[in-house]
């Protein structure tokens, strides 16, 4: 974020320095016939005003449930939520659904993953943009229309007046996601959740949408949580990154720090699974061996241990706490962190014992062939 520094100084002058959002030990469990699914299992994080937090993890790591839990959009009857979510000094979990409706759209808004399904197919785009403007801000139909057209223009939709009367099916995927962003921005929220905003889009469009989000965030001085499975997406666009695995944050650090000095083997594996442009041709895509963990009966000890190239006996029995690294703001949960002497020893020991996960990670064997369990592409 090129202007993040400038914004931060403006912020400290005008606003209190306490974070806009503080999440403490948040747990979201789903009661299912098969057992309790611990989708989010004790997440603690905070986001300062005007900053962007990236939440990264595989499918099923709990990142989407986390963002919906913070916004309190999980309303199914089988949801159990514990912990605390403090937004702007207010306890969100204590609020009634009625009170939450005054926060949704106005204070917090969300851009959803799939623009093809998150707009109502039978309602004109214009009405979907103006209905909450009119509801929350109580403006006239005409003023709401003007605001909406202006918003469409600001998300760079050509001919916004004409597009106002379109139905969603008359627009492309990228255009629909622009509309979704415009809808989310319409009432000027202070906090924006972007839940895999580009996963359903073409690569070229992805880039435009991410730039648009980043620019709108700077222009409107919004705080943002960007949820993605792609470390590449958050690399240049976030101030801080939280890596989630099995409903827990396993590593959290300022973005630069994370890429420069990652400690958790899962973070390393996620990064390794991104193909690099200077790899030789036909390099095998590095997959994270094994499957994402079962959230009903998670593995004992560290949840990543069955797939971890560094795993030692201790990892299978003791759950590592999220502890501080020497660098400020950097936390990780690992007994044998990447880049430490313990980690190096663990790696060497596993390599010597020909632990398949380690062999695969070292590129010595193909993970998919070696692991009967079947590999899952990470990242």
Partner 1 sequence: MIKMLGLRLARLVATLFAVSVITFAMTLLLPGDPINAILPPTTERDPQIVAQIREEYGLDNNIAVRYKDWLNDAVLHQDLGTSYVTRGQKVTDQIKNRVPVTAQLALMAVVIALFFAIPIGVLGAYRQSKWDDQLTSAGMQVALSIPNFIAAIMLGWLFAIKLDLLPNTGWARISKEGLLANLKTSILPATALALTQMAIFSRLVRSDMIATLQENYILSARAKGLPDRFVLFRHALRPSSLSLITIVGINFGALLGGTVVIEQVFSLPGLGSKLLSAISSRDILMVQGITVFIATVYVIVNTLVDLLYIVIDPRIRRS
**Residue 243 tokens, joined:** 């890596």
Rank residues 9 and 75 by Cβ distance to partner 1 and give the closer one: 75
Handedness of CA 61, 66, 69, 73 (dihedral sign): negative
Sheet arrangement for strand 21-32: 35-47, 21-32, 79-87, 90-91
Rank residues 183 and 311 by Cβ distance to partner 1 and give the closer one: 183
> Whole-number minimum distance, CB 179 to partner 1, in Å?
11
- What value, to the nearest 5°, has the Cα angle with vertex 297 and ends 293 and 303? 45
Question: Looking at beta carbons, which pairs linking 67-75 to residues 24 or more positions away fall under 8 Å?
Answer: 67/110, 67/193, 67/195, 67/225, 67/227, 68/195, 69/26, 69/28, 69/40, 70/21, 70/23, 70/26, 70/193, 70/225, 71/104, 71/108, 71/110, 71/193, 72/97, 72/100, 73/110, 74/28
Query: Dihedrals φ, ψ of 367, to 5°?
Result: -60, -40
Rank residues 143 and 294 by Cβ distance to partner 1 and give the closer one: 143
**Residue 281 tokens, joined:** 């041709």
> Whole-number minimum distance, CB 114 to partner 1, in Å?
6
> Whole-number minimum distance, CB 77 to partner 1, in Å?
8
Rank residues 80 and 353 by Cβ distance to partner 1 and give the closer one: 80
* Measured distance CA(282)–CA(296) in Å, rounded: 38
Binding site for partner 1 (CB under 8 A): 71, 73, 77, 100-106, 109-110, 112, 114, 117-123, 128, 131-132, 135-136, 167, 169, 180, 183, 187
* Measured distance CA(120)–CA(249) in Å, rounded: 34
**Residue 372 tokens, joined:** 């009967």
Rank residues 165 and 219 by Cβ distance to partner 1 and give the closer one: 165
> Whole-number minimum distance, CB 166 to partner 1, in Å?
10
**Alpha helix ranges (H) inside the chain:** 4-14, 63-71, 97-101, 125-137, 141-154, 160-163, 173-185, 203-220, 231-235, 255-260, 265-272, 313-317, 341-352, 356-361, 367-370
> Whole-number minimum distance, CB 255 to partner 1, in Å?
27
> Whole-number minimum distance, CB 237 to partner 1, in Å?
22
Rank residues 135 and 156 by Cβ distance to partner 1 and give the closer one: 135
> Whole-number minimum distance, CB 12 to partner 1, in Å?
30
Rank residues 98 and 142 by Cβ distance to partner 1 and give the closer one: 98
Rank residues 112 and 335 by Cβ distance to partner 1 and give the closer one: 112
Q: Which of 207, 245, 208, 213 is nearest to 226 (CA)?
A: 213
> Whole-number minimum distance, CB 62 to partner 1, in Å?
18
């Amino acid at each position: 974020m090129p202007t993040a520094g400038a914004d931060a100084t403006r912020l400290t002058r005008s606003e209190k320095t306490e974070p806009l959002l503080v999440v403490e030990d948040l747990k979201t469990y789903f009661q299912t016939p098969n057992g309790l699914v611990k989708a989010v299992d004790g997440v603690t994080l905070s986001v300062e005003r005007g900053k962007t937090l990236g939440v990264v993890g595989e499918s099923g790591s709990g990142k989407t449930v986390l963002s919906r839990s913070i916004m309190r959009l999980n309303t199914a009857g089988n949801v159990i939520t514990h912990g605390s979510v403090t937004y702007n000094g207010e306890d969100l979990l204590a609020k009634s659904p009625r009170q939450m409706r005054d926060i949704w759209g106005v204070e917090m808004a969300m851009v959803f993953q799939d623009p093809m399904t998150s707009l109502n197919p039978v309602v004109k785009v214009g009405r979907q943009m103006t209905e909450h403007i009119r509801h929350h801000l109580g403006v006239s139909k005409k003023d709401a229309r003007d605001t909406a057209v202006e918003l469409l223009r600001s998300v760079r939709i050509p001919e916004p007046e004409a597009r106002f009367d379109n139905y969603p099916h008359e627009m492309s995927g990228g255009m629909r996601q622009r509309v979704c962003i415009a809808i989310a921005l319409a009432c000027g929220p202070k906090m924006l959740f972007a839940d895999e905003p580009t996963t359903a889009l073409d690569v070229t469009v992805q880039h435009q949408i991410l730039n648009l989000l980043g620019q709108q965030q700077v222009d409107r001085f919004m705080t943002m949580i960007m949820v993605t499975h792609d470390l590449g997406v958050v690399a240049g666009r976030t101030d801080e990154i939280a890596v989630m695995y099995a409903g827990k944050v396993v590593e959290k650090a300022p973005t630069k720090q994370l890429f420069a000095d990652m400690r958790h083997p899962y973070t390393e594996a996620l990064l390794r699974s991104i193909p690099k442009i200077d790899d030789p041709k036909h390099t095998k895509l590095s997959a994270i061996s094994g499957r994402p963990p079962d959230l009903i009966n998670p593995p004992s000890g560290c949840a990543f241990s069955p797939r971890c190239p560094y795993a030692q006996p201790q990892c299978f029995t003791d759950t590592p706490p999220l502890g501080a690294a020497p660098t400020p703001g950097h936390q990780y949960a690992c007994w044998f962190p990447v880049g430490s002497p313990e980690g190096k020893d663990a790696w060497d020991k596993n390599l010597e014992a020909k632990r398949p996960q380690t062999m695969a990670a070292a590129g010595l064997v193909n993970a998919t062939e070696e692991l009967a369990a079947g590999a899952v592409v990470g990242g």
